[in-house]
Structure 1
Amino acid sequence: MTLTQLKYLVAVAETGHFAEAAQRCGVTQPTLSMQLQKLERSLGIVLFDRRKKPVEPTEAGATLVAQARRVLHECARLEGLAQEARGTVTGELRLGILPTLAPYLLPLVVPRFLRRYPGVHLRVREATTAQLIGELVGNGLDLGLASDHEPHAALLSQPLFREPFVAFLAPEHRLAPHREIPTSALHVSDMWLLSEGHCLRDQTLRLCRGGELACGTRRSLHFESGNLQTLVKLVKQSGGMTLLPLLATLDLSDGERRTYVRPLVPTPQREVWALTSRTSAQRPLFRAFITTVLEALPENLAAL
């Protein structure tokens, strides 16, 4: 039994496909399949039910996958401790990030981070806050960037920055004549919302009058999206309004800002936090990535 075999075992369990697992591990599918067959022979058990699509671990295989994750995690901790002693930053960083943050923050951070640390392989996945916490606790992620979260005993959290919200509304909207929009004037009935599970949806609803039950009562179309850009297009094409975090407005033209964007008073904000497992092995990588995030922030965002 080798660590490489355990890595292949976990990759197949997570992807459900031998080809995808091989691609993730940087080997050919025959190489990965051969190593897993060797592992099955040495253990004397079948690890995967290959008749199912996607493939699934057998009952015995699922037990070994869980143990393999723990073994690989402890090996990563050893490497992390060695990196700290050497003062180097290399390895893989599995990052989870909110879909309302990823398209706007990552282009500012990732190129700078990878230029500075070419020995790091960065794997990024978008997920809601609840999903991020579950993956961090289960060692499926190394680092999460989240907002509006409850403290968790298994996680360490570090505040990063505050991000204001702005109103994005159609020119014919009832509030468009205002140069600044009072939050007391917001009503959920003419607000395009993200779908349930997104913390930005919950933050928007807390600001609005009317409550969630009123949502959509003034429009013939009631639509909820998991994508902020879809909401932006709905406002442009169908009217109404939505709330955007400030980073989501950076790519707008000056004309679009004048037409569609209004500040809110008082200014609502969200806090963005970095979350890691208390037992995580990748402390040097965390510090390097978080430092890069703070360096890349626009000047109008307040670091915490």
Structure 2
Amino acid sequence: AFAQMDLAPDELLTRLDDLVGQSAEEQWGELGSPGGPFEDVTTGATCLYAVYDPVSRRCVMARAGHLPPAIVHPDGALTYPDLPAGPPLGLGGLPFESMEIELPVGSLLALFTDGLVEARDRDIDHGLQTLGEVLADRDASLEELCDRAVARLLPDGTTADDTALLLVRTRELGTAQVAEWELPAEPVAPGHARELATRQLRDWGLEDLSFSTELVVSELVTNAVRYAAGPLHLRLIRDRTLLCEVADTGHTSPHLRHSRDDDEGGRGLFIVAQLVQRWGTRYTRSGKTIWTEQSFPADGDG
């Protein structure tokens, strides 16, 4: 649920820590005393959370007492980023910190629990070294690497701790898949944004999305002009879906509401929500970005 809110990794861990740190009575409220086998089992749990942007190739991550990820670069170099540890969830104390790193295309990112690399007859450093040796094979598929890592590190198939391994290989969205423009925060900006978006969709062969995208762009840019300062940034991303982003320097997000029949405004964002599959707000140090996601037409070439 927190991940769907598009929070920064350190803020997400802070909210998760607050939730885990609540007493059982606070969590259950009027539902009565939990008294079950799962009471307080999350206190002291660790977490690693990362977000990768395939446009900028930058990965932002934060951890709560968890082991840092392993990164295998395209040249075969293995690194474990010096990511600030932060306390395990629910214990409080030090704040969580995010780290941002740039990952070359084709980098391998491995997230894992300590149950994979630490055992009674093996210290954690030896386990990390073994994992790095397995991940160094650039020709193997992700599935093969997972199988080999488990076979090497858990040869008898048993462990005293929970074991998880997640492997991802980074990619990049090329310039042909991304279009972005800077617009002044002026009344003419919505019209100009519609023209730019329509022209780009025509170049991508996505004319069927022109009507909905024009409405989305017009509403988001109009809100930015009205309630925030410039400059504004409009970005369209053609990936598995069509993403539309409008960024400004304000930190106040518009809220979806149902307008009454006699209201003169307030329907724009409601209409946008009906036209797209998902939408949300992403906050940055310099402001915010409102984004929407639309599926490609069933008979399109997207």
TM class by shorter chain equals: under 0.3
| TM-score normalised according to structure 1 size | 0.23
Compute the TM-score of the two structures, normalised by the length of structure 2.
Answer: 0.23
Q: Which has the higher contact order (CA 8 A, sep 6+)?
A: 1
